[in-house]
Amino acid sequence: MTLTDLSHCQGEVTLPGSKSIANRALLIAALCAEPVVLHNVLRSDDTARMLEALTALGVSINEQDATTLVVHGCGGHWRNTTQRLMLGNAGTAMRPLVAVLAATLEPHQRIVLDGDARMRERPIKDLVESLRAQQAPIDYLGDPGYPPLGIAGGLQPGDFVIDGSVSSQYISALLMALPLLPADSTLTLSGEVVSRPYIDLTLAMLRDFGIDIITVTDHQFRIPGQQAYRSPQNYFVEGDASGASYWMAAAALGGGPITIHGVGQSSIQGDIAFAEVVEAMGADVSWGTNQVTVRGRGALQGIDFDGNQIPDAAMTIAPLALFARGTTIIRNVANWRVKETDRLAAMATELRKTGASVKEGKDYLVIDPPQIWQHAHIDTYDDHRIAMCFALAGFSTAGVTINDPGCCAKTYPQFFSEFSRLCNLPPVA
C-alpha cells in the first residue's frame, strides 16, 4: 500500500477493544464457574488464538454478536486436556496460559503450548524457571528457554521469585494463576521491572473478578490461595489505548482534529500516557467522557523519552520523530528486541529508508529527521506496529509503500481502512 503527501487526517474514530484486556478477560472468564458476557471484545489474530485455545480446552463460548461473547467458564476444571494448543505469536495468550495451566491441570493431564516461528524465538525461561522452582512439571520441547512447552499439573504454592526485566507478561501470568493454588503464595520481583502499567492492569482486572492480591511493596505481592474467580456477569473491554497512539500521532501530523472514542483519561491502560507525548511534541489534547480529541499545532519538536513503561505506544514516537525539529531519543526499550521482531533493529532499518539518520543502541534509538526525504519501501517483519507506525510516514511528500499491511490483523484488522477513511483516500480493498 502506498501513502503519499497526506495532508488532512481528521474526523471520528472508534477504537476496537484492547488486546491486552480482551485476552485477559477471555481467560479469566474461562476460569469463572458462572457465565460472563464480555462486551466490545477485540476480534483479531491474537484474540482468535486465545479463543481457539479456550475452546479446545472445552470452554463453550457463544457469540451474541461480533464483539459480544458469552463465556461459559469451567472454574479451572478443563474438559479436554489432550491438546497441542497453537497460540500464533500472541504473547498475551502464551504467557498467561503457561502459568494458569500449571496451576489448574491435574498431575496426570498434559498440554503442549506452541506458537508460530517467531513465538519459538520469544523467551519464556524466566516464567518457566519460576514455576519449575515450585514443582511445576514443564518441559522444553524445542530450544531450552523457548516454546513449545509441555505442561502438566503439580505446581505448589509458596515463595515465587521472578525476574521482571524481560517481560511483565510473566508477572501478570503468575498473578492470574497463583490465587488458584490450594494455599497462600508470595511473589517477589527481581531485576528492573519493565512495562509496569500492564501489571497494574492485571491487578485491576483481577479485582473486578473478585480476586484479592495484597501489594506488599513495589516488588512483592502476597497472594491468598484457594480463591475462585467470580463472574461480574457483564464485563466491558475498553478501547485499545495502544491503537489510539496512531490516531493521536496522525492528528499531530495532519492537524486533525481527530476524536478517538473508546478510551478516556482514566483508562486502566498505561498506553494512554501517549497523549502526554503528543502534547510534549506539539499537539493539543482534550478529554471527554470515554474519548479524546487531538489537534496539531504545526511544527513538532523532538523529544527524549523513556519508553520502558509503554513499550508499544513508544514505537509511535519513531515516525513522529521523522517530522520533528531536532533529535528524538527513545530510550530504555531493550525488550523491543524480543517482541514481534527485533523492533530496535527493524525500526532503525526502516526509518533510515526515509533518509533519517538513526543510531541504534543496545536499548535505545536516536533519530534525526531526513534532510531530504526519500520514498521508502517499508518491510513490516510481520509486526503490526511497524506497519501502523509507518502509515504515518505517508504525511511526507516522498511518501511510503508499506509491504504486507495486512499484518496489522494481529491487533487492529481495520486499521488501514480506518486510516484511509480519515485521510479521505480511496477505500482499501
Ligand X SMILES: O=C(O)C1=C[C@@H](OP(=O)(O)O)[C@@H](O)[C@H](O)C1
Ligand Y SMILES: C=C(OP(=O)(O)O)C(=O)O
Which parts of this chain interact with ligand X (CB under 6 A)? 20, 91-92, 167-169, 172, 194-195, 198, 311-312, 335
Ligand-binding site membership of 24 (annotated): yes
User: Binding residue for ligand Y (CB under 6 A) from 71, 90, 176, 205?
Assistant: 90
Residues 6+ apart with CB under 8 A from 26: 38, 41, 47, 50, 51, 54, 61, 69, 71
Q: Residue 374 annotated as binding? A: no
- In terms of Cα–Cα distance, which of 266, 267, 272 is closest to 245? 272
Place of cell 519464556: 124
- Does the annotation flag 339 for ligand binding? yes
Among 126, 163, 271, 312, binds ligand Y (CB under 6 A): 312
The answer on whether 343 is annotated among ligand-binding residues is yes
Residue 306 C-alpha cell reads as: 523513556
CB of 51 within 8 A of CB of 63? Answer: no
Q: Which is nearer to ligand Y, 85 or 300 (CB)?
A: 85
**Residue written as grid cell 478477560:** 25
> Is residue 382 annotated as a catalytic residue, yes or no?
no
Which option in ligand X, ligand Y, none does residue 238 bind, with CB closer than 5 to 8 A by kind?
Answer: none
Was 167 annotated as part of a binding site? yes
Q: How far is the CB of 10 from ligand X (least distance, A)?
A: 28
Nearest-approach distance from CB 319 to ligand X, in angstroms = 18
Which residue among the candidates 45, 163, 312, 368 is catalytic per the annotation?
A: 312
Residues 50-89 interacting with ligand Y (rule: CB under 6 A)? 89
Q: How many residues bind ligand Y (CB under 6 A)?
A: 9
13 binds ligand Y (CB under 6 A): no
**Which residues is 330 bridged to in the sheet?**
305, 365
Q: Which is nearer to ligand Y, 9 or 90 (CB)?
A: 90
The Cα 314–Cα 310 span in angstroms is 6
Cis preceding linkage at 137, omega within 30? no
DSSP reduced 3-state for 236: strand
The binder of 172, among ligand X, ligand Y, none, by C-beta within 5 to 8 A per type, is ligand X
Partner in contact with 385, chosen from ligand X, ligand Y, none, beta carbon below 5 to 8 Å by kind = ligand Y
**What is the three-class DSSP state of 181?**
coil
Q: Is 45 in the site for ligand Y (CB under 6 A)?
A: no
Q: Please tell me whether residue 24 binds ligand Y under the rule CB under 6 A.
A: no
For position 44 contacting ligand Y by CB under 6 A, the verdict is: no
Task: Give dist(CA 151, CA 128) in Å, integer.
Answer: 10
Do the beta carbons of residue 314 and residue 91 sit within 8 Å?
A: no
Instruction: Quote the cell numbers at residue 387.
Output: 506497519
Is residue 185 helix, strand or coil?
strand
Residue 119 φ then ψ, to 5°: -60, -35
Please identify, using beta-carbon distances, which residue of 309 and 328 lies nearer to ligand X.
309
- With CB under 5 to 8 Å by kind, the binding choice for 168 among ligand Y, ligand X, none is ligand X
Known catalytic residues? 312
Q: Which residues are at the interface with ligand Y (CB under 6 A)? A: 89-92, 312, 339-340, 385, 411
